[in-house]
Structure 1
Amino acid sequence: MRRGHDLINLILPDELIIEIFRKLDSKSGRDASSLVCRRWLTLERISRDTIRIGASGSPDSLVHLIADRFVNVTNLYIDERLSGSHPFGAERGRNARQSAWLRLRFLAEKYETYCLSDAGLAAVADGFAKLEKLTLIWCSNATSAGLRFVAQKCGSLKSLDLQGCYVGDQGIGAVGECCKQLEALNLRYCEGLTDTGLVELAIGCGKTLKLLGVAACDKITDVSLEAVGSHCRFLETLSLDSEYIRNKGIIAVAKGCPLLKNLNLQCIMVTDEALSAVGSLCVLLESLALYSFQRFSDKSLCAIGNGCKKLKSLLLSDCYFLSDKGLEAVAAGCSELTRLEVNGCHNISTYGLESIGRSCMRLTELALLYCQKVGDQALSEVGKGCKYLQALHLVDCSVIGDDAISSIAIGCKNLKKLHIRRCYEVGSEGIIAVGNNCKYLTDLSIRFCDRVGDEALVAIGNGCPLLQHLNVSGCHQIGDIGITAIARGCPQLTYLDVSVLQNLQDMALAEVGEGCPLLKDIVISHCRDITDVGLAHLVKRCKYLESCHMVYCPGVTTAGVATVISTCTNIKKVLIEKSKVSERTRRRAGSIISYLCVDI
């Protein structure tokens, strides 16, 4: 637009402006554009297809207001963990606060609730006829009556998430009766639900349902899964967390759902019999996650390896009776495996991981957590065989050291993410190898690795110019030299955690400010030699800074905190001791300040 000449509104039709609004990625960009003129405000509201609101405050009235303004919404997200607010106009200052308080009080008295109720769900049903995706998170006041309103009027619903909602059989049954296009249903912590409701839904939506999640629903048993197996032949994803599901239900799904691709199980009563059925019948399975299994053995993984040739992702967490034999069977049979996570499976050792390295050449992500029996030779085989590895996560693997990391660095030159935590045998030698070989590295975290020093970060700074995320928390040998090398060699850095570095001083922060202008998040907590001077140098150049954690820094004072607040226009969170926030700073930016503790 030119001053005095509204060329855009004269030339562009409504349809084109609406399409431009739909191309905008950020909500803030859409909101700002809608303020240009009344026409753009109307068109932006027409183009808005997704709304996310809080379910506290006076959510019922808020739903009414939104439904009147945004008529084409297809995706509605309501979360009681978020606070609700009402769009009362452009009033500012004390009058605006008084006006808003009076209106909120009026609305609260009128609706007599601070949580989404069935009246709010009725407003959803009346106002969003085109709704395709509805997410209700911990809306505990909503009942089956409200859900029935939605089911009867939102026949196009394809996705329904009821996490933490106390809905019962009648509501779910109504969804099965009315929502014949439903594809995804999440019933996590729906304590009022029994087999009766889920069976009715399976019968009603059996031809379309592709995704089902059930967790902590004590009254859901194998009866429900048998209904799913009988009616939901197109089911692709099943996630179960239950103490009451047994073999019978899992076998019914394996027999009746031939298109099953993703299976997540945390069912302590399930045994080898059920997983053997999955291995022999679910030949299209691509992702399998097994949590806290205590009643199955290598026999299950052997069945998976023999039958599930398309398996790409495998997660094993706290599966105490698995050994290298089971992992070897998966390696031999599932050559398309791209992601493997082994967490707390104490009988899996070096040999099992060696078989993965020799057979799964397409592996792109490997996570080993609390694997005390996995040694360097395992990762040496992975380095030799898995040339496409892009992410490696190691937590509390006490036997793995520099030789393993060096083998990965030399063999996996496409590595982009390396996370190591409390692996005390890893030192500078391994990280230097990463710096010398992995030029595409973007994310490096080496928390509490005491043997890593400045020379390692010098190599990273010289060899990894694309680095965006760095966490060296608790690496006591790292100081100004290492962080300065990062600042000078990694200009794309956006996240930096240097907490608990006792040798870090203001000079390093000044270098970061000079060399990393894109920095958004920094953690400098427990750095005793950092002062207000270093902070001032940092924030002077880092204009995009959004969060700063700086608790237990004795050299940081109220002046330093005020400098961060006043200089960083994009700042959203500052974590600091309460005693270091002046009354003026608290008045100016109280909403973005978080306190770890009250007194030191």
Structure 2
Amino acid sequence: MSVLEENPDSPLKKRPPRWSDIWLKKTKPLKHVVFAMQLQSLASKDPKSQTLIPHFANIDRTLLLSDELLLKILSKLPLSQRNPNSLVCKRWLNLQGRLVRSLKILDWNFLVSGRLITRFPNLAHVDLLNGCLFSPRNSGILLTQRMVSMQMRYGNCSNWELLEENLLPVEVVDGGLQALANGCPNLRRLVVINASELGLLTLAEECLTLQELELHKCNDNVLRGIAACENLQILKLVGNVDGLYCSLVSDVGLTILAQGCKRLVKLELSGCEGSFDGIKAIGQCCLMLEELTICDHRMEDGWLAALSYCENLKTLRLLSCKRIDLDPGPDEYLGFCASLERLYLQKCQLRSKKSLRALFRVCEAVREVVVLDCWGLDNDMFTSASVCRRVKFLSLEGCSLLTTEGLEATVLSWLDLETLVVVSCKNIKESDISPALATLFCNLKELRWRPDAKSLLSSSLMGTGMGKKGGKFFKRT
């Protein structure tokens, strides 16, 4: 027997305490932690058991709510809280992704890798325009056009060369469209550039609910794929853009489009070529067409007469057109749009009185006329609008060549005129207002008069009763 065993009280028997001894002696805090972990584990298996959890246990109370109920709650919150809410936990991040319906893609790899569909499974509106361009992110040079914004490495080449250099190949864009179509069968709106017929055919087969499409750098061959989208209602085609890219849309493509997309309600043709035959085909086949927008067209002379085939057309917009129709043909062949209600002209060059007269002749049933920043509209040309006898609303802005005399000669012939807006027309002078024109002002329901910065008509006529007909008062601008 050793000495230590014989003398248990010996000082050699004592040794310094171990960490394990201290840990086992002070187990009260540990027991609380283990107990809380057990409660959380039970709550995850049985949500009803959370009612027994004590207040000191940090448990996510939203676990009691189903995904459907929590989605309804999150959808009621303002959009400004969407990003902060997604940082709460992974569950909230996934739920917020399910609430996103519209998205603009900037990184193409995010689409083709499948992360887009996983993160946002319920997308309905997707914009791929900027995602189809790859450009250096650290460049200090930014090219901005009204439709495209991109960074560039250097500035010693044309915009057209720059876009072609940084635009994704057609087969890459088609692959992205296929991935998008497979993951988003409920897609309703799409914006894309440089796609082919094959990519759009895949989209048409998988996304049967596609209703709105905006296609840039479009040509006749691509329109074969668009024609397969039978439920398409809103379509914007961008063919040729000066200084950026050149693509041809002719009567062939417009005819293919008309025969395939017969449910179109709104159509915009930007930088497209064509003639009487293409517009006629659209009018004869697209019987539901209500709004037609033509921007910077390259159409052949005589196309205006084809508008009469659009029997249900209600709105006609001409934007940034360098010309309208230099040779519209005889009046007996022009016809007119019986259902047309609104005519909108913006930033157009009105060089020919003959073409403007033909336009008003086709639109003689119109009730609203808006002319905004159009060059060349003088007194002689504006008198051709007298043929439109049913006008109730007239808005003139930025028509610097028009005078008070020219305005009076036309508006006095419109017996149904109710609203008149004159803004930034510097040659229309208040000193030239005749008694007949002043009487017309008194009978209007609404008058917005600011032809120049020195106009005092709005302040001098207060209290005279002008503009009170119909219960609507004079609006001071």
Q: Distance in 1 between matches of 2:261 and 2:461?
A: 48
Q: What residue is the counterpart of 2:260 in the other structure?
A: 204
Q: What residue is the counterpart of 2:203 in the other structure?
A: 150
Give the match's secondary structure for 2:105.
strand
Which of 314, 327, 333 in structure 2 is aligned with 1:261? 314
| 1:183 CA drift (Å) | 0.6
Aligned amino acid, residue 388 of structure 1: E
Q: Distance in 1 between matches of 2:331 and 2:282?
A: 17
Q: What residue is the counterpart of 1:225 in the other structure?
A: 279
Q: Distance in 1 between matches of 2:331 and 2:117?
A: 47
Q: 1:215 to 1:250 in 2, by over 3 A?
A: same
Percent identity for Structure 1 against Structure 2 = 22
Q: Distance in 2 between matches of 1:306 and 1:238?
A: 17
Q: Distance in 1 between matches of 2:330 and 2:84?
A: 55
Q: Distance in 1 between matches of 2:422 and 2:334?
A: 24
Give the match's secondary structure for 2:95.
helix
Aligned amino acid, residue 304 of structure 2: I
Aligned amino acid, residue 351 of structure 2: Q
Deviations 1:440-481 (A, max 9, x none): 97xx7xxxxxxxxxxxxxxxxxxxxxxxxxxxxxxxxxxxxx
Q: Distance in 1 between matches of 2:290 and 2:120?
A: 33
Q: Distance in 2 between matches of 1:130 and 1:194?
A: 31
Q: 1:17 to 1:225 in 2, by over 3 A?
A: same
| 1:271 CA drift (Å) | 5.4
Matched, 1:169 2:220: yes
Matched, 1:73 2:123: yes
Matched, 1:45 2:97: yes
Aligned amino acid, residue 121 of structure 2: V
Contact 1:354 1:377 (8 Å CA) reproduced: no
Which of 268, 271, 274 in structure 2 is aligned with 1:216? 271
Q: What residue is the counterpart of 2:243 in the other structure?
A: none
Give the match's secondary structure for 1:307.
coil
Which of 338, 345, 370 in structure 2 is aligned with 1:314? 370
Aligned amino acid, residue 108 of structure 2: P
Q: Distance in 1 between matches of 2:368 and 2:288?
A: 20
Give the match's secondary structure for 1:264.
strand
| 1:385 CA drift (Å) | 3.8
Q: Comparing both chains, which one has the higher relative contact order based on Cα–Cα distances under 8 Å and sequence gaps of 6 or more? A: 2
Give ranges in structure 2 of 5+ residues lacking alignment: 1-54, 136-164, 241-246
Q: What residue is the counterpart of 1:17 in the other structure?
A: 70
Q: Distance in 2 between matches of 1:277 and 1:22?
A: 56
Q: Distance in 1 between matches of 2:422 and 2:67?
A: 51
Aligned amino acid, residue 120 of structure 2: F
Q: Distance in 2 between matches of 1:324 and 1:114?
A: 44
Which of 324, 328, 336 in structure 2 is aligned with 1:280? 336
Deviations 1:325-361 (A, max 9, x none): 345554x5313x1x51243362443452586489566
Q: 1:243 to 1:287 in 2, by over 3 A?
A: closer
| 1:187 CA drift (Å) | 1.0
Q: Distance in 1 between matches of 2:254 and 2:127?
A: 23
Q: 1:25 to 1:214 in 2, by over 3 A?
A: farther
Contact 1:46 1:72 (8 Å CA) reproduced: yes
Which of 374, 382, 404 in structure 2 is aligned with 1:349? 404
Tell me the C-alpha RMSD between the 2 structures: 4.0
Aligned amino acid, residue 186 of structure 1: K
Q: What residue is the counterpart of 1:195 in the other structure?
A: 251
Give the match's secondary structure for 2:121.
coil
| 1:42 CA drift (Å) | 2.0
Give ranges in structure 1 of 5+ residues lacking alignment: 86-111, 416-436, 445-600
Give the match's secondary structure for 1:212.
strand
Q: Distance in 2 between matches of 1:319 and 1:245?
A: 21
Q: What residue is the counterpart of 1:295 in the other structure?
A: 352
Deviations 1:223-264 (A, max 9, x none): 32121122111111111235542464332232x221111112
Give the match's secondary structure for 1:135.
strand
Q: What residue is the counterpart of 2:159 in the other structure?
A: none
Q: What residue is the counterpart of 2:421 in the other structure?
A: 366
Q: What residue is the counterpart of 1:466 in the other structure?
A: none
Q: Normalised by the size of structure 1, how large is the TM-score?
A: 0.52
| 1:211 CA drift (Å) | 1.2
Q: 1:180 to 1:275 in 2, by over 3 A?
A: farther
Deviations 1:151-198 (A, max 9, x none): 332222111111xx333333221121x211001111123514333222
Aligned amino acid, residue 341 of structure 1: L
| Higher radius of gyration, 1 or 2 | 2
Which of 180, 202, 207 in structure 2 is aligned with 1:124? 180
Give the match's secondary structure for 1:228.
helix
Q: What residue is the counterpart of 2:231 in the other structure?
A: 181
Q: Normalised by the size of structure 2, how large is the TM-score?
A: 0.64
Q: Distance in 2 between matches of 1:167 and 1:288?
A: 25
Q: Distance in 2 between matches of 1:171 and 1:306?
A: 36
Aligned amino acid, residue 161 of structure 1: E
Q: What residue is the counterpart of 2:304 in the other structure?
A: 250
Q: 1:276 to 1:60 in 2, by over 3 A?
A: farther
| 1:72 CA drift (Å) | 1.3
Contact 2:328 2:334 (8 Å CA) reproduced: no
